[in-house]
């Protein structure tokens, strides 16, 4: 099966961190269409790349603690809202000591 490229006609984008790109066919970003919430945007992303789901959400559909989500450079949670032209970024949290 040939991987389908992301639809570039829709404005809402999700940025995938390098560590997760092996589960997104190597793509760093994807236009996903409209979604009302961060969770909805992720569901659209998982519909395209199902292997991302267990790497982003745990078995109780919570964001893994080693990941952060940003909407247009502002940290957000799964239930926060989105606008059609927003960019959602998945970021690996930095470990510190």
Reading the chain (97 residues) residue by residue, the pLDDT tens digits are 444 555 443 478 999 999 999 999 999 999 998 899 999 999 999 999 999 999 999 999 999 999 999 999 999 999 999 998 899 999 998 744 4
* Domain at 13-92: CATH architecture: Roll (3.10)
**Sheet strand arrangement including 87-92:** 29-31, 13-15, 87-92, 67-71, 74-76
Structure tokens at 45: 């992303």
Question: Would you state the structure tokens that stand for residue 6, as one six-digit string?
Answer: 């992301």
- CA–CA separation, 76 vs 89, rounded Å? 10
pTM of the model: 0.84
How do 87-92 and 13-15 pair as beta strands?
parallel
């Amino acid at each position: 099966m040939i991987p389908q490229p992301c639809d570039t006609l829709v404005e809402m984008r999700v940025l995938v961190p390098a560590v997760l790109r092996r589960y997104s066919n190597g793509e760093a970003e994807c236009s996903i269409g409209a979604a009302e919430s961060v969770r909805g945007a992720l569901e659209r992303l998982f519909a395209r790349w199902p292997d991302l789901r267990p790497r982003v959400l745990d078995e109780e559909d919570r964001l893994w603690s080693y990941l952060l989500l940003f909407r247009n450079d502002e940290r957000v949670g799964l239930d926060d809202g989105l606008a059609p032209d927003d960019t959602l970024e998945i970021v690996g949290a930095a470990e510190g000591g």
